[in-house]
Structure 1
Amino acid sequence: MRLKPLRHVTAVGVAALVAFGGLGALTATPAFAATSQVSVVHGIPGQNVDVYVNGKKTLPDFAPGKVAGPLSLEEGSYDIVLTKPGDDISKALLKVDDAEIPGGANISLVAHLSADGKPSLTPFANDVSKVAAGQARIIVRHTAAAPAVDVRAGGKPVFENLTNPKEAKADLPAGTVKADVVLAGTDTVAIGPADLDLKEGTATIVYAVGSAEDKTLDLVTQTITGLHSAPGGVPSGSGGQAGSGLGLAWYAVAAAGLLMLLVGARRLVPGRR
């Protein structure tokens, strides 16, 4: 496997997180006004990392394909740094400075490859609005160095022409579905098939990660629980997920903020050779 060196940091992650910060005042609810739930997803193959938040090692030896957290972060500004395990924080592989985190949000911060194979950090607002009885939510995020794809369930396209770093979602009847990822408009399978257990009252988030060129494409999943329409408590989860209880308004506005991801610039971070 050929691993591209992690020496680039994308300003798009900063821009999008700043957008989240600007929206925080519009979306915070009394129960969650002070903190956000932030999960971290490692979707860059071939390199374990230490994750630092404001200079503190928060996730040591974090492996590719894993989801960690959620971290309860108070509203404010954060420096996020990824290094090789044991390296000093000054030897960053990837970082964002002054990322503004709003209060009351549920965010997944994804380290992944951009469409052209450059390491990136992308935040996604997680939809933790309630689902109808008997339903489950599936969210698919294209975070791989690969062209546009279609996502199929039972051999039939559910989401079409999905590109990096976009997402698509739908509420479906709860149950097990066999899903795969194919090149857009074709039957050429890029990832899968895989059985997805869509439990009632949950959101299953599926990340396409890795590189088509390096033949490292794979799926990473995250599950958010507690989304039943009937009273059932605060959304929570396993494998690094939790909920904020925010309504649909947050996700509609946050989606506009995520458009900033498409126009961000890149800058170099000093790295070891």
Structure 2
Amino acid sequence: MTARVAGAALVVGTAVALSAAAPALAQPRAAGDQATVSVLHGVPGLTVDVYAGDKELIPDFKPGTLTDPMKLDAGSYDIKVFKDGEGPDGTPAIEKTVDVPAGANATLVAHLTADGKPALDAFVNDTSKVPAGKARLTVRHVAAAPAVDVRADGTPVFKGLENPKEAKGEVAAGTVSADVVLAGTDTVAIGPAELNLAEGTNTVVYAWGSAQDKNLALKTQTLTGMHSAPGGVPAGESGQAAAHNESLPLGALSLGAVSALAAAGLLLRLRASAR
């Protein structure tokens, strides 16, 4: 997807290898079952180092980069984000205590608030079964920008989405032309671009960057394995089957399938540290 402002291209994402960094999280404060966690850097113009406590987790983390999923023990993690080379003894740009619940599939996002301040938010990714022939589309607003509408083929499907909220719904699998406009207007902020929504997947789209600095962009994350057998009824559990790439006509998002914005979508509890 190409951003109209600054002509920024949709980043399809170079994964960061985390195998060397994984030992940094080997001993959380409260051990238990594991969770699957990815990390997205959505603060433009700033390369950072991410620490868990005093141990480096992700070095030289560049804007627009989404890590590969990694397995972490459930528990509490003191996450600190430093300007590249300034940790662990300097003052972090962002610091939050993140509670990772057992069994969750989550994405931790370092981003800007609507008024341009660094922030850290966590989103639980919906890996429940998707009906046969369908795909799930999730949109997350993590940009320094006002409320937006998300359109599919020119029709608003998610309205009034605010930072740091999310909305989601189920669609017929296929390709859709999507763009992001300022809420209640036809003023395009990002896009249009084509999204390939494969059957049995959850495509997560992040709007990130800064409207004022004219570097708004999109990042996509694709979760697979949620395919349901034809005629099957979604059971709500994590899917195990491989996703199909069959292209089917795309229908409009069902209003009944759209989630409430954010509140119910965040199962990871973030609390500001006492720092």
Same fold (TM over 0.5): yes
Preserved contact between residue 80 and residue 94 of structure 2 (Cα < 8 Å): yes
Q: CA RMSD in A?
A: 2.8
* TM-score, scaled to structure 1: 0.73
Structure 1 residue 74 displacement after superposition: 0.5
Going from structure 1 to structure 2, the CA distance change for 1:52 and 1:111 (only over 3 Å counts) comes to: same
SS in 1 for 2:210: coil
Q: Which residue of 2 aligns with 1:90?
A: 89
**Amino acid in structure 1 at the alignment position of 2:240:** G
**Amino acid in structure 1 at the alignment position of 2:201:** T
Q: Which residue of 1 aligns with 2:27?
A: none
Going from structure 1 to structure 2, the CA distance change for 1:266 and 1:144 (only over 3 Å counts) comes to: farther
Structure 1 residue 86 displacement after superposition: 2.7
Preserved contact between residue 79 and residue 96 of structure 2 (Cα < 8 Å): yes
Supply the distance in 1 between the matched residues of 2:118 and 2:161 (Cα, whole angstroms).
Answer: 19
**Amino acid in structure 2 at the alignment position of 1:200:** E
Preserved contact between residue 124 and residue 268 of structure 2 (Cα < 8 Å): no
Going from structure 1 to structure 2, the CA distance change for 1:38 and 1:193 (only over 3 Å counts) comes to: same
Where does the alignment leave 5 or more consecutive residues of structure 2 unmatched? 1-5, 7-31, 230-237, 244-258
**Amino acid in structure 1 at the alignment position of 2:186:** D
Preserved contact between residue 209 and residue 220 of structure 1 (Cα < 8 Å): yes
**Amino acid in structure 1 at the alignment position of 2:96:** V
Q: Which residue of 2 aligns with 1:16?
A: none
Structure 1 residue 83 displacement after superposition: 1.6
* TM-score, scaled to structure 2: 0.73
Give the total of aligned pairs: 220
Q: Structure 1 or 2: larger helix share? A: 1
**Amino acid in structure 2 at the alignment position of 1:163:** E
Preserved contact between residue 96 and residue 272 of structure 2 (Cα < 8 Å): no
**Amino acid in structure 1 at the alignment position of 2:113:** S
Preserved contact between residue 166 and residue 265 of structure 2 (Cα < 8 Å): no
Deviations 1:227-251 (A, max 9, x none): 1113962789xxxxxxxxxxxxxx9
**Amino acid in structure 2 at the alignment position of 1:90:** D
Going from structure 1 to structure 2, the CA distance change for 1:78 and 1:46 (only over 3 Å counts) comes to: same
Preserved contact between residue 48 and residue 64 of structure 1 (Cα < 8 Å): yes
1:1-273 to structure 2, matched below 5 A, reads 34-91=33-90, 92-97=92-97, 99-230=98-229, 233=240, 255-256=263-264, 258=266
Supply the distance in 2 between the matched residues of 1:63 and 1:143 (Cα, whole angstroms).
Answer: 16
Give % identity: 59
Going from structure 1 to structure 2, the CA distance change for 1:149 and 1:194 (only over 3 Å counts) comes to: same
The answer to which structure, 1 or 2, has the higher relative contact order (CA under 8 A, 6+ apart) is: 1
